[in-house]
Amino acid sequence: MAGNLQDGMEKVSGKIKKMRNLAQYKDMTDEEFDEAMNQKPIELDSSEELEQRIEKKLAEFERDYDLSELKINDWDALRALIQAHLTLEDYEQFLFKIRSDSLTENRILSMDKLHRVMSDLRSDISKLQGDLSITRKNRKADQDASLEDYIQSLKEKAKKFYESKMSYIFCEKCSMLLATTWVLYGKEEGNKVILICNRTNDDGSICGHKNIVSTSELLKNGGTNNKEVTPESML
């Protein structure tokens, strides 16, 4: 990009030097000639050169942002944003050229006007970025939201993994959940879990049922001793 701008500036500079020898400018002092040149319209890139610059800037945006879901109006806004960026770059180059020459009252006024135009252009760029939701603030908010979603996803996966590995033991008499357990040697036929249910019934009595559960039977039964009362999410 800098190379294209530099080439453009050199071409303009070469034309100005040739114009210095024209009859209407020959008798002017250098300061008068510079002022006359400052009053001439700024030469713009050809359409082909402009499109090349837009394509290059678009490639930069594609590296930094996901443009896959942009609608047709979004692409129009993005093109306007790119052109605003390019125009701002050109203004900055032109402003640098003015500063590099000796300052006159007219040049100072020109610089002041250019600064105001550049300020308005930056506001337009900021607005277009906001419309496209690609400002740094919005990108950071998206990243924070993505991180929060990722953490939540990990929690849900951990919960599902935990539930898939655990076995649930219910009272054979009153169906009260008595234990959630994991046994290292669950397939061992001799391993049994003995639990006495102390649930208080509606009439105030204690269930008191003695439950003897084989760990191998729990595994064969999908991790529960009573599928009928076990929620499907736990199976």
Whether residue 142 lies inside any domain: the answer is no
Position 136 scores a pLDDT of: 52
The pTM of this model reads 0.40
Position 148 scores a pLDDT of: 74
* Same-domain pairing of 90 and 42: yes
Q: How far is CA 130 from CA 7, 65, 118, in A?
A: 33, 14, 18
* Same-domain pairing of 8 and 80: yes
pLDDT, average across residues 159-177: 82
* Same-domain pairing of 126 and 24: yes
* Same-domain pairing of 92 and 180: no
pLDDT tens readout for residues 58-112: 888 888 777 777 777 888 888 888 888 888 888 888 888 777 766 677 777 778 8
Domain count, the chain: 2
Whether residue 144 lies inside any domain: the answer is no
* Same-domain pairing of 203 and 88: no
Position 150 scores a pLDDT of: 73
pLDDT interval class at 193 (50, 70, 90): very high
Name 114's Cβ contacts closer than 8 Å, sequence gap at least 6: 91, 94, 95, 98
Residue 3 has pLDDT above 50, yes or no: no
pLDDT tens readout for residues 104-137: 777 777 788 888 888 888 888 888 888 887 655 4
Whether residue 57 lies inside any domain: the answer is yes
- Enclosing domain of residue 170: 166-234
Whether residue 146 lies inside any domain: the answer is no
* Same-domain pairing of 94 and 188: no
Whether residue 7 lies inside any domain: the answer is yes
* Same-domain pairing of 177 and 92: no
pLDDT tens readout for residues 12-54: 555 566 655 665 556 777 777 677 666 555 444 457 788 888 8
Q: What is the 3-state secondary structure (H, E, C) of the chain?
A: CHHHHHHHHHHHHHHHHHHCCCHHHHCCCHHHHHHHHHHCCCCCCCHHHHHHHHHHHHHHHHHHCCCCCCCHHHHHHHHHHHHHHHHHHHHHHHHHHHHHCCCCHHHHHHHHHHHHHHHHHHHHHHHHHHHCCCCHHHHHHHHHHHHHHHHHHHHHHHHHHHHHHCEEEECCCCCCEEEEECCCCCCCCCCEEEEECCCECCCCCECCCEEEEEHHHHHHCCCECCCCCCCHHHC
* Same-domain pairing of 114 and 192: no
* Same-domain pairing of 100 and 214: no
Of 142 and 89, more confident: 89
Largest CA distance in the chain: 120
